[in-house]
Chains A and B, each alone.
Chain A
């Protein structure tokens, strides 16, 4: 047999991924989308820690002929952690280890603002149903309104795995855009006088209170809504590691190394599910729109309860802290601080807004647990 360089070259090209693009050019569109997301993550710094791995996962998943998603493929194993709620729960462990619940313990009424800010979840659920989504899918989409990425991913993986990539991308993109999404609504719904309200100092929270808090919350919430166990349990374990004072190394690992490692796997796993067949559909557009509405409605719910509390306390609560009830820790609290200082440069709302902010994390986990319970996912 005679060696022919041109024949070998033609064969290599014929069996390459480039040739496969000609068979299904939609993969090229997905690759372009991954480039856009990479630009948003790297160039615009929109939640880069998650958006960059997600975008790279999309890129990898849409290269033809790699077999990376098939049985025995690398991403197939990575996805196991999403499928079985491992990654979101470990991320919650890290969030718990990073969170100071002191402001919430000092002002327990902040809990109610965290609850009101889940309004977007339940109203977006109704809107998603109206747009023709099945109930379980509508529930998964609605959880975007909780502004909590891991919770949205966990709910989607249980209730609508086929919608996981657009839900995760919408959730993280809107979380990154909170400083742009929330302020106009905050100014619209509050008066100048309300925004200028200065709040009293928070009391000192003892170490014992901070240690007992995660144990008590985990016990109570999980006993009442067992479906929240993976999220609330890990969140509170992380917080206990932080506060108990004898597990500094574990707390440090949960906050940094472990959280970072799992973030890589989580991002890649979410990205690898974004293939043309399931991503390039009208449903994706609807999810993006619904996600935005859910965010706006959640913010509205938090601010309106803040206004109510302002009235009930005779002007001692600044309604701006209500918007921080959407989870997105600590970005939403920072937005409250910035808006408060715009109204009055001497107004420091950050610590006050952290209360509703961390309450929102618990609230969105409870809302997600409720949705999973009702629509049949099994954790």
Chain B
């Protein structure tokens, strides 16, 4: 049977300990994730890419000039040619939806208005 009555002090202690438990639990998970990531990367026999990759619409893609070298290494930037950031984000979302490929698995090099 659980607790049926609480004094004010006990109630505050229950609330505080509950909050501490939640922080502790999620804190442990927070520490566990990088460890698990390293282990899985090690097992997979490759390092986690150090550079940010998948160009999700999260950050604002900086417009770059049209004559950007198409052969250059991918840097995480999307070249926006004749289109604004909002439209570009929408295009990315539509492509992801239509192809069924998650945004974090897609790489956009350039979006150009026709």
Contacts and interface: CB of A to CB of B under 8 A. Distances in A.
Interface of A: 100, 102, 104-105, 108-109, 111-112, 114-116, 118-119, 121-123, 125-126, 129, 134-136, 159, 198-206, 208-209, 212-213, 216-217, 220-221, 224-225, 345-352, 359, 362-363, 366-367, 370-371, 374-377
Chain A: interface secondary structure? helix
Contacts of B85: 345-346
B23 A375 contact: no
Contacts of B3: 135-136, 374-376
B76 to A, nearest CB: 6
A47 to B, nearest CB: 23
B14 A125 contact: yes
B104 A217 contact: no
Interface of B: 1-6, 8, 11-12, 14-16, 18-19, 21-23, 25-34, 36-37, 39-41, 43-44, 48-49, 52-60, 76, 85-86, 89, 102-104
A278 to B, nearest CB: 20
Contacts of A346: 60, 85
The interface centre, meaning the residue of B32, B56, B102 with most chain A CB atoms within 10 A of its CB, is: B56
Nearest to B40: A208
Contacts of B2: 135-136, 159, 374-377
Contacts of A374: 2-3, 14, 18
A172 B104 CA distance: 31
A100 B101 CA distance: 13
Contacts of B34: 108
B6 to A, nearest CB: 5
Contacts of A345: 85-86
Given A122-B19, A212-B39, 10 more contacts: A108-B33, A125-B11, A199-B58, A199-B59, A201-B53, A208-B44, A209-B41, A221-B29, A367-B22, A370-B21
